[in-house]
Chain A
């Protein structure tokens, strides 16, 4: 049993290792997309949609046209109810 004197390099090393392990652990599951390194909300900006998830893929221009189409369908509803003179 060789006993090393307390303190010295080894303790420092251990401390460093412990610190590194702690840091690693803390970083294992990031708290947000940005801290994981993939953009997203920052401290003053809220961003919700940053990744392309599975789902019904649509082109942004199509969405814009659909949005305008939706608005005009509501206008059409107004016109219909006006023309028929009653609420359906």
Chain B
């Protein structure tokens, strides 16, 4: 009919794509809490170590995406090696492309919306499969794997991807609160932050069997009675150890959280008045962080794709051999601490430095290109997204008209135009501010923790707002409120 459309390609796969049923009726507040909590717990529990890889082998290549993991709830060498990255990025990018009319889809038609959704899901599964096999072939899980081992690894990695997608889908479809990817992301980020500060699990740090606590604060306390270090040495080490979270990064992360909280309530208030009733002047707030953390998530999605592509090229084509032509152009990976694969020159421009002073000396260009990339993509995304997400100035103008509101001192016909200026400016500026906060942290050498904190706090705030709203509307009969006492005051 209308020629070839990308979303139609999903049709042959439809019978095989699992699809969660919509709830028959709106769920009670308590049921939503239960579903959300259980899904979060299942997700965290699924961060199990992978079965089928040998324990003592030294992998040929280490973790190349260590600084991107925090933003997407990914745990290295676990079932959720890629976390919810394919879900988040595919959802974001597909919706952006559809909004910009790159992908033809008519959201007014039920059929089209369903196809678009199924297509997104298929893309997510395909990406889990591709990423898993890139990592397997690159030797990340060791070399000389048997066919059976590869099959088992595929089963685990892709299976976990499918499970994560379905968990997200359950929340999205109204069994849990608001948005699946953001809920899971926020839960995982909160958990990791807590683990970094007061995690008690002991991790082996050297061949002699010495262990140190994962949590920075616990480590400081333990340092006083450690046998392999002097007290002074262990205090210094608690603040600057490189292999596990240290107190300095913990403090910086907390400061970042506080700064993000401060920017949450930045707003410009536009005076509005009712066209029906006289003398009822109120204000319409335009929030600075209009698109919240989505702009940062978008920038990191792009970074992830860049690094995955580079990783595939460098390890599969270039064999990570500095003399190979591909590696001469793109750079190669160097082992650091036996857990990280740190990219060298050209590719390193798109990665944050591992430490502030070391980075200044070794990779000064990272301090220019990386921030520029994050800010430009973030601002561009925020500007586009506010226009297509369904709450743009034009949609608002329609809402205003229905409610009989107008901007004070403006002509009614111009409401859309007058609203467009502050909203798009707020979105773009907000994205730049968030990007700047995240970059400031990253350049200090937080290896992704700064970004994940910004995304976590922002996402948490957006979710909290909607959950509070939900609670006020439907939570009056909640038995949880009797247990917990008064609801959180916002």
Contact = CB atoms under 8 A, between A and B. Distances in A.
- A–B contact with Cβ pairs below 8 Å: the answer is yes
Interface of A: 19, 26, 29-36, 38, 40-60, 63-64, 66-68, 70-71, 74-75, 77-78, 81, 87-88
A30 B21 contact: no
Contacts of B15: 54-56
Contacts of A70: 46, 159-160, 163
B431 to A, nearest CB: 11
Nearest 7 interchain pairs by C-beta? A34-B390, A55-B19, A44-B292, A35-B390, A53-B114, A77-B51, A31-B388
B291 A43 contact: yes
Given A29-B107, A87-B54, 12 more contacts: A19-B413, A29-B101, A30-B107, A32-B388, A35-B107, A40-B390, A42-B391, A44-B462, A45-B178, A49-B121, A49-B173, A50-B172
B388 A58 contact: no
Given A33-B107, A49-B180, A42 B389 contact: yes
B152 A31 contact: no
Given A35-B395, A38-B107, A81-B52, A43 B385 contact: yes
A87 B107 contact: no
Nearest to A34: B390
Nearest to A54: B14
Given A33-B113, A41-B389, A88-B149, A49 B156 contact: no
Contacts of A38: 107, 113
A65 B115 CA distance: 27
Contacts of A33: 107, 113, 390
Contacts of B292: 43-45
A53 B15 CA distance: 10
B466 A71 contact: no
A36 B98 CA distance: 13
B156 A44 contact: no
A63 B170 contact: yes
Interface stretch (B88-96, B247-255, B350-358): B88-96
A54 B20 CA distance: 10
Given A32-B389, A63-B20, A71 B149 contact: no
B132 interface: no
B42 A31 contact: no
Contacts of A55: 14-19, 118
B435 interface: no
A74 B157 CA distance: 11
A49 B117 contact: yes
Contacts of A58: 18-21, 166
Contacts of B389: 31-32, 34-35, 41-43
9 contacts: A30-B390, A47-B91, A48-B90, A49-B173, A50-B172, A52-B22, A53-B115, A55-B16, A60-B175
A67 B482 CA distance: 31
Contact of A50 (B166, B173, B289): B173
B462 A67 contact: no
B390 A31 contact: yes
Contacts of A19: 413
B87 interface: yes
Given A48-B87, A56-B15, A74 B291 contact: no
Interface residues of B, number: 88
B110 interface: yes
A46 B179 contact: yes
Contact of B18 (A32, A44, A56): A56
B21 A43 contact: no
B17 A77 contact: no
Contact of B466 (A45, A48, A78): A45
Nearest to B466: A45
B387 interface: yes
A47 to B, nearest CB: 5
B278 interface: no
Interface in B18-72: 18-22, 35, 38-39, 42, 45-46, 48-54
B325 to A, nearest CB: 35
B76 interface: no
A66 B42 CA distance: 11
Contacts of B458: 44
Nearest to B292: A44
Interface string B123-164: 000000000000000000000001011001000100110010
B377 to A, nearest CB: 16
B290 A43 contact: yes
Contacts of B178: 45, 47
B19 A47 contact: no
B118 A54 contact: yes
